[in-house]
Amino acid sequence: DAGITQSPRYKITETGRQVTLMCHQTWSHSYMFWYRQDLGHGLRLIYYSAAADITDKGEVPDGYVVSRSKTENFPLTLESATRSQTSVYFCASSEPPYEEQFFGPGTRLTVL
Amino acid sequence: AQRVTQPEKLLSVFKGAPVELKCNYSYSGSPELFWYVQYSRQRLQLLLRHISRESIKGFTADLNKGETSFHLKKPFAQEEDSAMYYCALRDSGGSNYKLTFGKGTLLTVNP
């Protein structure tokens, strides 16, 4: 399917485990973003990437690692998951100079 | 630092009533403002942006730089407008295309 996809859609893991959330887009957008959505906090930016091999921290990067070896993929890794990382994670992409960000369907992550 | 404030977590109106979702921002530069919407079981999507001055699904929003506000309005709410609404800000002079989101307002339109 064309567009932006995320996998898995649902994930349950345990504290201390490593988890990788995948994001894939077919538009060749240069910018990609990872957000987490929490009740009472709205959407907060974790990391973003301006192009392949270029990434930068957002508002809440601690405990997360990203990479972008290919333009179309932007995986997010929780190196040692904690309960506070239980959240819904959204990936998004955009192509300057257009401002609109296109969002994936989200991954609901539960850390036990 | 830029900040977006949506003072109402929840807003409930009846069908046919006017609705206004408030958004205030703090930013020293020249901002671009957006409204994003997330319908139940759907993806977050752009509703409108201030620079286009358009009306989407009957919604409008005017950027008031004096009051640093970008309130979303609709004269007659419909049940299908029930959703989570996020106001977002971007630095128009910036090169990183990041968005800062408010905490969101959950709108419920009752029949």
Please state the three-class secondary structure of chain B as a single string. CCEEECCCCEEEEECCCCEEECCEEECCCCEEEEEEEECCCCCEEEEEEHHHCCCECCEEECCECCCCECCEEECCCCHHHCEEEEEEEEECCCCCCCCEECCCEEEEEEC
Contact B32 A31 (CB under 8 A): no
Spatial CA neighbour of A101 closest among B50, B98, B51: B98
Contact A94 B97 (CB under 8 A): yes
pLDDT at B37 over 90: yes
Distance (Å, whole) CA B7 – CA B53: 23
Q: What is the pLDDT of residues B61-80, one digit of tens each?
A: 988 888 999 999 999 999 99
Higher pLDDT residue, A96 or B84? B84
Residue B27 binned pLDDT confidence (cut-offs 50, 70, 90): confident
pLDDT of residue B93: 65
Tokens coding B18: 């006017």
Q: Are A87 and A38 in contact (CB under 8 A)?
A: yes
Q: Are A9 and A91 in contact (CB under 8 A)?
A: no
Residue A100 binned pLDDT confidence (cut-offs 50, 70, 90): confident
Task: Tell me which chain A residues have a C-beta less than 8 angstroms from the C-beta of B9.
Answer: 40
Residue B102 binned pLDDT confidence (cut-offs 50, 70, 90): very high
pLDDT at A6 over 80: yes
With pLDDT > 90 as the criterion, what percentage of chain A qualifies?
A: 84
pLDDT at A102 over 90: yes
Select the residue from A34, A43, A46, A89 to test the B interface by mutation, using most B Cβ atoms within 10 A.
A43
Task: Tell me which chain A residues have a C-beta less than 8 angstroms from the C-beta of B103.
Answer: 40-42
A69-90 mean pLDDT: 96
Cβ-proximal residues to B30 (8 Å cutoff; 6+ apart), any chain: B91, B92, B93
pLDDT of residue A96: 80
When the pLDDT of each residue in chain A is averaged and rounded to a whole number, the result is: 93
pLDDT of residue B33: 92
Q: What is the pLDDT of residues A17-63, one digit of tens each?
A: 999 999 999 999 999 999 999 988 889 999 999 999 999 999 899 99
- The residue behind tokens 């709108």 is B107
pLDDT of residue B5: 96
Going by the DSSP 8-state scheme, the letter that residue A63 receives in this structure is T
| Total residue count of chain B as it appears in this document | 111
Task: Tell me which chain A residues have a C-beta less than 8 angstroms from the C-beta of B1.
Answer: none
Contact A103 B86 (CB under 8 A): no
pLDDT of residue A1: 54
When the pLDDT of each residue in chain B is averaged and rounded to a whole number, the result is: 91
pLDDT of residue B96: 66
Q: What is the pLDDT of residues B85-99, one digit of tens each?
A: 999 998 766 666 788
Mean pLDDT check: name the lowest of A1-15, B43-57, B87-101. B87-101
Contact B104 A56 (CB under 8 A): no
Spatial CA neighbour of A92 closest among B80, B86, B50: B86
Contact B104 A33 (CB under 8 A): no
